[in-house]
Amino acid sequence: MAGARKSTAAARWTNSIVLWAFLLIVMLVTVFPVVMAVINAFKTNIEINLGDTLLPKTWQFSNFTTAWEKGNFSTFTWNSLYISIVSTIGTLVVASMAAYAVDRIEFPGRKFVVFIQSATMFISIGAVVLRPQYDIMVKLGLNKSLWGVIIILIAAHASTFFILLGFFRGIPKELDEAAMLDGCGPFRIYWQIILPLVAPGLGVSALFAFRHGWNEYILPLVFTMSTPKLQPLTVGLANLRYGTGDAAQLNLMLAGACLSILPILVVYALANKSFMQMSAGSLKG
């Protein structure tokens, strides 16, 4: 009996060691490139190309000011914020209304709507749809406006739809019935009763939507080729690649990349509580 207990304890210790070793490896693989990017952002371009030192000989804080001024970061940052914030709000409105309708309202074709949402989320055709999307925006006169990018980002709301659908399904429908007896209509129930109850889901969805809009590259690149003043940070960072004499300015690119990460870190910090509560909402759904 004692031997069985010892073997069980030894197996638990072994499992714990293997688990922690795996988590440590994953953490190192994830964090190491970010740490190296931050360190290299303080080096000179020559030090990065030579790669003979881990830490910079002299910390070049001027890389960040140079990247900000040379890369016109104030304009690019505003464009990125505009795209991300407006597309996030639009995604939350469209996806939450769609999820509410599918979960709460009986209408023909509900299962087909869910199928279409699944198809758009799991079947990625990438750049194949860029040309027809661009042609549509040309017809609408939005090909030289950030609104063309924003509308396409809002249309890609399938993941947000399923996140919120899981939260909606965790809310008893008896609340709707009680509200209807008090004279509330469907929209008032959705706006004043249901949405406040799924605040954690909205917070997580906003985080993902903001990150999607902030990190998008190909779509704004296509739509801003003829209007550089509308370029977001992801596209504007490419302008830092070459300097005088066509030499690759890796230090400035890394400094600019570090600056572009800061808004995402702020958003993650603000949405951290909602992110931690997401598992509870998902389990209820």
Are 40 and 195 a contacting pair, CB within 8 Å?
no
pLDDT for res 100: 93
The answer to whether position 51 is within a domain reads: no
pLDDT for res 133: 86
The answer to whether position 66 is within a domain reads: no
Do 23 and 153 belong together in one domain? Answer: no
Do 35 and 138 belong together in one domain? Answer: no
**What is the rounded distance in angstroms from the CA atom of residue 189 to the CA atom of residue 177?**
10
**What is the rounded distance in angstroms from the CA atom of residue 272 to the CA atom of residue 75?**
28
Q: Write down the residue that tokens 């992110």 correspond to.
A: 275
pLDDT for res 86: 95
- The structural domain count of the chain equals 2
pLDDT for res 203: 87
pLDDT for res 4: 57
Do 94 and 9 belong together in one domain? Answer: no
Both structure tokens of 45: 């371009």
pLDDT for res 222: 87
Q: What is the pLDDT of residues 247-268, one digit of tens each?
A: 567 888 888 888 888 888 888 8
Which uninterrupted H or E stretch holds 100?
helix 73-104
pLDDT for res 168: 92
Do 182 and 101 belong together in one domain? Answer: yes
pLDDT for res 12: 79
Q: Flag residues of the chain having pLDDT under 50.
A: 280-285
Do 110 and 25 belong together in one domain? Answer: no
Q: Which domain holds residue 33?
A: 2-40
Confidence (pTM): 0.81
The answer to whether position 53 is within a domain reads: no
pLDDT for res 282: 46
Amino acid at 284: K
